[in-house]
Structure 1
Amino acid sequence: MNFEKEGIVSAWYSTTDYSSIPDSYFEEDEQGLDRWAKNFDISQYNPDNLETNGCEKGVSSIRNIIAPCSWSSSYGDAIIKKIEKMGDKQISWLILVFDFEYRAKKTHLFEDEYVHFVGCFPYDMEAANLA
């Protein structure tokens, strides 16, 4: 499925300690896809539009992790609210894919063993980050 959509950022988060996730989760196959993408039935995305941030060990406030991300003042608060609504106040890391509208209702995939899909949010390339 192709989920490309300009002006939208799709977000996933984890509460699993980054250091305890096997390297194989992030290793790309011949098609350039890692296990994370395959687990969510994502057949392609532009790796230049992928951004991750987190802490090496343990968890931190969602705001601390999202603040340094690109253009986060345009979508950060909405993601923070949604993650808190999902029941987590602290996270270990975040995956963002810009110009991408992942549709979990189509794939029926909302989480795998390490990450939870948060949602899709409009973003503004003119916006600053929250940091």
Structure 2
Amino acid sequence: MRYGGPNFEKKGFVSIWVSKVTLDEIPDDYFEERFGEDYEDTPLSQWCENFGFGYYDHDQIEDNGVEIGADTLDRILGECSYSKSYVEQAVSKAKEKGLGSASWIRNFFDFSYSPESTGIDEDQFMIFLGAFEYDTNSESKYESQF
């Protein structure tokens, strides 16, 4: 399964997941990458296992959020790389899904996740917001708090 399953790599797209719970409610090992002989046939992390894919390039992941409570998705996403090119579409999609704030987001660049392929758009901790085109020539909407 680690290298099997659907391949969602797609240049120029960012897939975004949003937390449904506060950061302290997400288990410490949820995003932790599993290596070694014991894990050769398992997905790289619990997060990707829950969303139906086995392996990913961790260099393409960007996480952002707040340690306590929640903040607006505009702020959290706006601090991420290239956000001027996708933040408005992402926030609009979030509003359609009834999401306005979160404690944590996970951006996966050059990846166009498709719940239609896996049948999974959320688990107990995260919800898939969508895949959006991004432009490497754009800047972040805001400066990061970190």
TM bin, normalised by shorter chain, reads: over 0.9
| 1:76-129 deviations in Å (ceiling 9; x for gaps) | 111111111100111111111000011110100010010000111000000011
How far residue 68 of structure 1 moved from its aligned partner, in angstroms, is 1.0
Distance between the aligned counterparts of 2:25 and 2:51, measured in 1? 20
Distance between the aligned counterparts of 2:131 and 2:20, measured in 1? 19
Structure 2 stretches lacking a partner, 5+ long: 1-5
RMSD of aligned C-alpha atoms?
1.2
1:5 matches 2:10? yes
**Which letter maps to 1:7?**
G
Give 1 or 2 for the bigger CA radius of gyration.
2
1:122 to 133, 142, 145: 133
Aligned length in residues: 131
TM-score normalized by the length of structure 2: 0.86
1:38 to 49, 67, 88: 49
In terms of mean alpha carbon deviation, does 26-35 or 80-89 score higher? 26-35
How far residue 15 of structure 1 moved from its aligned partner, in angstroms, is 3.1
> Aligned residue for 1:88?
99
Distance between the aligned counterparts of 2:20 and 2:78, measured in 1? 17
TM-score normalized by the length of structure 1: 0.95
Distance between the aligned counterparts of 1:74 and 1:60, measured in 2? 20
> Aligned residue for 2:87?
76
**Which letter maps to 1:13?**
V
* 1:2/1:43 contact within 8 Å kept: no
